[in-house]
Amino acid sequence: EIPRVTGVQTCALPICPCHRVFGLTVVASAMSLATATAPVALGGARATLRGRRLAHTGGSDKVIQKAPAVKPRRRGTVTTASAVGTNLTTWLLRQEMEHKIDGELAVVLSSVSIACKRISSLVQKAGISGMTGLAGGAGNASGEDQKKLDVVSNEIFCEVLRISGRTGVIASAEEEDVPVAVEETYNGNYVVVFDPLDGSSNIDAAVSTGSIFGIYQSDQSCVPDWGADDEGVVQEKCITNVCQPGDNLLAAGYCMYSSSTILTLTVGHGVYSFTLDPSIGEFVMSHEDVKIPATGKIYSFNEGNFVNWEPGLKEYMDAIKKGGKANDGKPYSARYIGSLVGDFHRTMLYGGIYGYPGDDVNKNGKLRLLYECAPMSFIAEQAGGMGSTGRGRVLDIQPDEVHQRVPFYTGSREEVQYLESFLREN
């Protein structure tokens, strides 16, 4: 049998070799043997051979008659060529041409990618350049110890965003209580929130870390007027600008610093991953239109906190160890890096669930709404998955404060819904 080729990616150019080969293969497989004498391409040639063989072994007269030449038919549906291998700059320009983003947002995203490249380079050298260990000082905005690389990564993000000239307000997990208004000379329309180096407690052991970011449009009523506003008013306007629900996000992404450096982002039209090719210093598309499997048998929680969890969550844990939703009576597998970006990335590709619940000690868990949960939820939803607090959609939450924390569950749609069913009942 000549294999039937389905979902063929034909090239619009008539000279494209893939068009000739694949196009004719499809035609040949759909033809009767009697007419399968089309020359040139693989499918036709195979079919012709097959016809002759039949004739020698006593096939019907019809088979050996010279059949009229058959022109390859044009397929009715032509799928778009894959963009895998496209570099980030070209992809951003294409998004702009297709009116999915404007030029300003393309500049902001490009700036973020530069920050990620610089941080990637520092992370790789951390062990030999004296960049491991604590920075000293009072810690970050959430009172957590800051690593040296936390501080440097924050400076890098702030610097590239300021220089981009497209960002009005930036808010970082590592900054003090209030977001930073970019001075007038460099001011722009976008609000960028970010965690420059998430999972940095892993740095000293050279385990995966990542940067997470989200981009909002400025709420024009809150844009600081540099001539007129005093400092207090500027701060208040910055906070209002940053405290937008995740549903307002225009773009979000993360960059994972691991065995590869992978930048994953969405501008609200699917999820795309770009792997840094160190030989050319470019992010190159490696995963196109990523979709999270609807179910998955991996769970990713810090189970050390089990005793402090609510009863519904404990019941859920027991259930997935007996096969849960997806695993036909067999226990799920546990995987936990302790670095949201790494755990999320694996969950997105393999399916399953990631969770950082609230508990008796920390009612809202550990993860921050603005820099972690909202951007990751936007990505998860764009990939067909979910981002939930266990009792509602993360993107619906109107933040009360900049460094707010929320319980967070994300990953495969059916797995997150399964978990929610336990929390709802309790």
Please report, as ranges, the residues that interact with ligand AHG according to CB under 6 A: 144, 198-201, 302, 338-340, 343, 356, 366
Complex with ligand AHG: residue 12 or 205, whichever CB lies closer: 205
Q: How far is the CB of 362 from ligand AHG (least distance, A)?
A: 9
Residue 410 to residues 79, 99, 142, 326, 389: CA-CA distances in angstroms? 31, 29, 23, 16, 9
Q: Nearest distance from residue 274's CB to ligand AHG, in Å?
A: 21
Nearer to ligand AHG, 248 or 364 (CB): 364
Residue nearer to ligand AHG on the CB measure, 12 or 361? 361
The two tokens of residue 57 are 């072994």
- Rounded to whole angstroms, the Cα distance separating 157 from 105 reads 16
Residue 151 or 238 with smaller CB distance to ligand AHG: 151
Min dist CB 306 to ligand AHG, Å, is: 12
What minimum distance in Å lies between the beta carbon of 141 and ligand AHG? 12
First-residue to last-residue Cα distance in the chain:
58
CB of 103 or CB of 338, closer to ligand AHG: 338
Residue 298 main-chain phi, psi, to 5 deg:
-115, 130
Q: Which residue has the tokens 């941080």?
A: 119
Q: Min. distance of Cβ 334 from ligand AHG in angstroms?
A: 13
Smallest distance, Å, CB 137 to ligand AHG? 15
Three-state secondary structure readout of the chain: CCCCCCCCCCCCCCCCHHHHHHHHHHHHHHCCHHHCCCCCCHHHHHHHHHHHHHHHCCCCHHHHCCCCCCCCCCCCCCCCCCCCCCEHHHHHHHHHHCCCCCHHHHHHHHHHHHHHHHHHHHHHHHHHCCCCCECCCCCCCCCCCCEHHHHHHHHHHHHHHHHHCCEEEEEECCCCCCCEECCHHHCCCEEEEEEEEECHHHHHHCCCEEEEEEEEECCHHHCCCCCCCCHHHHHHHHHHHHCCCHHHCCEEEEEEECCCEEEEEECCCCEEEEEEECCCCEEEEEECCCCCCCCCCEEECCHHHHHHCCHHHHHHHHHHCCCCCCCCCCCCEECCCCCHHHHHHHHHHHCCEEEECCCCCCCCCCCEHHHHHHHHHHHHHHCCCEEECCCCEHHHCCCCCCCCECCEEEECHHHHHHHHHHHHHC
- Nearest approach, Cβ of residue 200 and ligand AHG (Å): 5
Name which of 27 and 131 has its Cβ closer to ligand AHG: 131
**Cβ-contact 274, 89 below 8 angstroms:** no
Q: Which residues contact 421 (CB under 8 A, 6 or more apart)?
A: none
> For ligand AHG, which is the closer residue by CB, 188 or 407?
407
* 290/340 with CB nearer ligand AHG: 340
> Least CB distance from residue 145 to ligand AHG, whole Å?
8
Choice between 174 and 420, CB closer to ligand AHG: 174
Residue 166 or 368 with smaller CB distance to ligand AHG:
368
Minimum gap (Å) between residue 176 Cβ and ligand AHG: 17
Identify which of residues 200 and 264 has a Cβ nearer to ligand AHG in the complex: 200
Q: How far is the CB of 223 from ligand AHG (least distance, A)?
A: 31
Report, in Å, the least distance between residue 310 CB and ligand AHG.
17
